[in-house]
Amino acid sequence: MESIYNNIMSAISKCERLLAVLIDPDKFPVENTSAFFKKVNASIATHIFVGGSIVGDFQTETLVIEIKKYTKLPVVLFPGDVTQITNKADALLFLSLLSGRNPEYLIGKHVESVSKLRGSELEIIPTGYMLIESGKFTAVEKVTGTKPMLRNQIQNIIDTSRAGELLGMKLIYLEAGSGAKFPLTEAIIRGVKNELNIPLIVGGGIRNKEQLKLAYDVGANLVVIGTAFEDDESFFDDLKKIN
């Protein structure tokens, strides 16, 4: 497979809007994969992200193997833990939790993962991950023991994302948290995008076409949606490809 990161860059240069369907191995019934991917493949989705905050050993690998049977879309790991890394996927978001100050999620888990990544063909994409408060206590906060950034402290959010870029990260993932009550505000997305020279991923709490369009219009290059598809697969019908 061609470089997923290069494909993202090339899509952005053509002003294409990218959409990742997030699948949490802990919540997704593997036996639904075939039916679910009929809908995914007919939709405007461009990427599959796989990961979750709390996932049992081998659940991710089993699911990735199954997903690969039903789609040609790139499968990108979005791991909540080292145990979720599998060579069966195409790429790995190598996440640093820039919004928090827990060294385990800034460098500790990364060191732990190296023995697993040695010799692996996974494309590794260093990604600055930033959790912004969304009116709900999230699994990320619970697992990482960190607090999200305050949504009214926009300059701090902008400066943090820019620091991630200066550290050499290739993507910034701005996150309201899975199942967030409300998605990130226009001001946050726009402010961060204006300062960044690397692609911007936005996710959390996006449940309809209007919110999706707004996220793109104000600067998201790639939007991630999970819960809306988990709750109601008919959302894929709204996002069908137009041939």
Q: Which spans of this chain sit near ligand 1GP (rule: CB under 6 A)?
A: 22, 175, 178-180, 203-206, 224-228
CB of 208 to ligand 1GP, least distance (A): 11
Residue 17 vs 120, nearer CB to ligand 1GP: 17
Q: What is the distance between the alpha carbons of residues 179 and 158, in angstroms, rounded to a whole number? A: 23
Residue 86 vs 178, nearer CB to ligand 1GP: 178
Structure tokens at 205: 């709490």
CB of 121 to ligand 1GP, least distance (A): 25
C-alpha to C-alpha distances, 129 to 57, 61, 170, 217, nearest whole angstrom: 23, 23, 11, 21
CB of 118 to ligand 1GP, least distance (A): 27
Find the residue with minimal CB distance to ligand 1GP. Answer: 203
Residue 13 vs 234, nearer CB to ligand 1GP: 234
CB of 106 to ligand 1GP, least distance (A): 18
Residue 79 vs 226, nearer CB to ligand 1GP: 226
Residue 95 vs 158, nearer CB to ligand 1GP: 95
